Amino acid sequence: MSPASIEILGLLAGTLTTISFAPQVWQVWKSKSAKDISLGMYSLFVLGVAMWLGYGLLVGSAPVYLANTITLILAGAVLVMKVIFDRRDRQKPPQDQQ
């Protein structure tokens, strides 16, 4: 494969894996709930994506740093909503005591 073809492959792969987070972000935002999402998993995932972003910048790989920048924003949004919504839910009284 030519270098241009390899770059296109990387951009397509990054696009697909990145947009796969959009439905999760939308679902959490729409439902205002992230109770079924693992805080530990998303925390580690966001850290890993941030490291991939750093790696992509250091080696100058556009597919790596572009995809991971957008993924970091999307996954980070889910992580922030998870923390906010879980904190809110812990502060609400149980339904039967209202």
Q: Which CATH number fits domain 36-90: 3.30.470.20, 1.10.3720.10, 1.20.1280.290, 3.40.50.20?
A: 1.20.1280.290
Residue 96 has pLDDT above 70, yes or no: no
Domain ranges (residues) in the chain: 36-90
Q: What is the pLDDT of residues 48-75, one digit of tens each?
A: 999 999 999 999 999 999 999 999 999 9
For residues 11 and 5, what is the distance between their CA atoms, to the nearest angstrom? 10
46, 72 Cβ separation under 8 angstroms: yes
* pTM for this entry: 0.83
In the prediction, which pLDDT does 92 show?
77
In the prediction, which pLDDT does 93 show?
75
Distances (CA, A) of 78 to 17, 57, 63, 70: 16, 24, 22, 13
